[in-house]
Each structure stands twice: as C-alpha cells, then as structure tokens.
Amino acid sequence: MQFHVMTLFPEMIAQGLANSITGRALREKLISLNCVNIRDYSDNRHGKVDDYSYGGGAGMLIQAEPVYQCYQNLLSQIPDGHKKRVIYVTPQGRPFCQEIAEELVKNDDLIFLCGHYEGVDERVLEEIVTDYVSIGDYVLTGGELPAMVMIDTIARLVDGVLGNDASAEIESFHGKLLEYPQFTRPEVWHDKAVPSVLLSGDAARIRSWRIKESIQRTRERREDLYRDYCRLVQLEEILLRHKREYADLLNLLELGYGEIVCWDRNVILMRDRRDQASYFAHPTGDTFIRDIATEDPVKEAESPVSFLKKQGLIREQDRPGIRRFIMHDTDDINEAKQLAKLLGLTEVRRTRLLVYTPRERPANARIRALREKLKDKVSPEMIAFIEEGITSGLMEGLRPVYYLDEEDPFPVGDLESFGIYAAKGPVLLLQ
C-alpha cells in the first residue's frame, strides 16, 4: 500500500512514521510513504500558499491552485487502475474508527491532504477530495498529526506489517469489546500478583477469563461499545435457536466482523466488515420472527427491495460496492433479480446452505472414504470443502458451511452420516 501526504511540513510526517512498526514496514517495503510539500507548487517566489479569506474573518486560508497542482503531480505517479482515495483531515469529517481503517486499507493508494491556518479553499476540496475524516471533536494546528494517526492504524492492517498476523484481529475494538488486562514478569510487582488463572495453563479457563474481563472493561469504560456488544449478543442468542439455517451469520458474529446494518421485527441485514458482503435474513412466517417479535403480533415481512429502500440503504441509481448478497428464507427469484439489478450485481444463484454439525475434526480415514465414494457424484468444490474447508473452519472455532447450488447433487445418506446437513429454507446468493 502507498500513502501520499500533501502537507506544509513533510519532515514532520516522515520523521514521525519512521519509527516502530510503521518504520520497519517502510524499510521492508510493505508500505511506502510519499510526503509532498504543497509549497513546491506555489507560483510565489517565497513559497507563499495562503491568503486572506473572502468575506473577512480571522486567519488565512490555503489557496486552491497549489493544492490542485500538487494533487495532479501525485496522480501522474499512481499507476492506472489503482484504487485510490483522497482524504481531507478535518474536524468536520466523519469520526475515524477501526471500521473506516478496514475500509480504507482495501485501496492501493491513499492520499492525505493536511490543512493549516483556517483550512483550504472549498473549491479544490470539492474537486479532489473523496473522504472527510476527523480524529476527534477538537482543533489542532494542522492535519499532520491526524494523518499520522490514520496511517499508523491503516498500516497495521496491511498483510505482513505486524509480526503476528493474528495480532491485528484480537486488538481493542475487535468484536465491539475492549482488550482484556495483560501481564508480564515478574509474577508479583508492588504486592500485586498476576491473576492465577493466567498461570494455570488451562487454555479454556484463560479464554473464559479474558472474555469476562473484556466485557467488564467495556461496560465500565465505553458504554457505547458495550451497548453495541449487547445487541450483537442478543442477536446471537436468537440465531443459535436456528443455528443450522443461520450458521453463516453466526460465524460472522463469532469472528467479530458482523455489523448490524438494520434489524427490525421481520428482517435482519448484516454486513461483513472485511469484504462488504451482506447477509439478509427474511424469514417470512418462520418461528424466527416470533423470536424477534415476542410481544408484537407477527406481520408479513416486507420484500428485501422495499425494506432496503425504506431504510435508505439503496436507491435506483446507487451502485454500492457489495460483492455478495445472501438472502435467507425467501424463494422469490424475481425479487432477488430485482435486488441484484439495484445493487449492480449480475448473477443470482439458488442455493442450499450445508452445515457440518460435529465440533471435532473428522478422522482422515473417514475423509478419504467419503471422498472416494463421492468423487464422481459431487462437484470438485464440494470435495475441497470436505477435505479442507471443514478442517480450516473448525480450527477457527466456526461452523463449517458450504453453499450448494440447486442443480448440484446432494447425496443425503452419505453426507448426513458424515455430519453434513442441509439447512431448512432456501438461500439466494447474489454476486
């Protein structure tokens, strides 16, 4: 990933990011940093880039032309086809958070514009900026510190930047919980001992203790995150009553990447924060609705298209970057095609959700025997799921799931004896 910063103080950015993890990532060329001085594009022999604001008022404003010329020069250095975003760091922007970092890291190039004085001429902002982002409701002397904060956060998500790739996934804010307390040697310091459970060597007890401490810390320090966590837990409890039908949504919650976009009495829309895939549970007439709406009379669930339009999530002209859209408990193929058209998707497949139900890995001999029995009966993708998908899913603590196309055979006797069951209800997969 390449970071570009348009600034009046390039040395401040370069020196600040040359240390620690970002410094090592720069040296190993896992990321690159290009700091450009806006003054280099001034038509003033003294490098002056600011002027008084029309209409009066205190302070000076950065002029549009030097910023625009700086930006054009940067564009000429970025290869065609690269995904890029231009971020103006300003208190008026949307608050920066981990979700935004995960969204921005999917780009090839990120260009940061650091303001100074009273800001930047609005006209050039309208012309080049794609995102307005803030690190908090306070005023700094310039945008350099916010840019460094964002670059540090985003860089950590780039493959290989952290020594242990798992570290990025278990840090604070993952799964809506703050990180648990941590301790190192000595075992006793200032008469304070390391909790005995951490010395027990019992992985299950340690995991349970950490989860409990994370929940307690989040409740005490971040009520907003704790409310979001409680909402996810409530949804998980409902989904667990229908764990075969919604194994994919449960996996998303357990990984900590499930984001509830909308949840009303009849419909759930959840998004995977990693790839923006969306999962739509639309369980008309099912007991699932009665679990959600225990007090109100059950009404007929509205169509996915009308629901998304009502929530303002799609409009006719929108083309959101949704790669997959998975509709549960609806067999209306025409509705799915209409939704696919609105979302700019081209393919609609009618599928069944297969779930491997045991919680332990099957023996190699059983896998080989099933593979031999099915090798001419099912698709190579299904064989790969049996050989690799089940094992990798269980290793991550998930329920292994597979989307079986409607036309693909499903040898019920062989697969169910192995522990693979087809969930009730149809699934439509939009891509």
Task: Measure the CA–CA gap between 235 and 219, rounded to whole angstroms.
Answer: 18
To the question of whether residue 140 is assigned a binding role by annotation, the answer is yes
* Phi, psi of 420, rounded to the nearest 5 degrees: -100, 120
Check the annotation: does 115 bind a ligand: yes
Closest listed residue to residue 147, CA positions, set 90, 108, 189, 215: 90
| β-sheet bridge partners, residue 422 | 354
Residue 138 annotated as binding site: yes
235 labeled part of a ligand binding site:
no
* CB-count exposure of residue 96 (10 Å: 0-12, 13-18, 19+): buried
Q: Is 136 annotated to bind ligand?
A: yes
| Residues in the annotated binding site | 115, 135-140
Annotated binding site for S-adenosyl-L-methionine: 115, 135-140
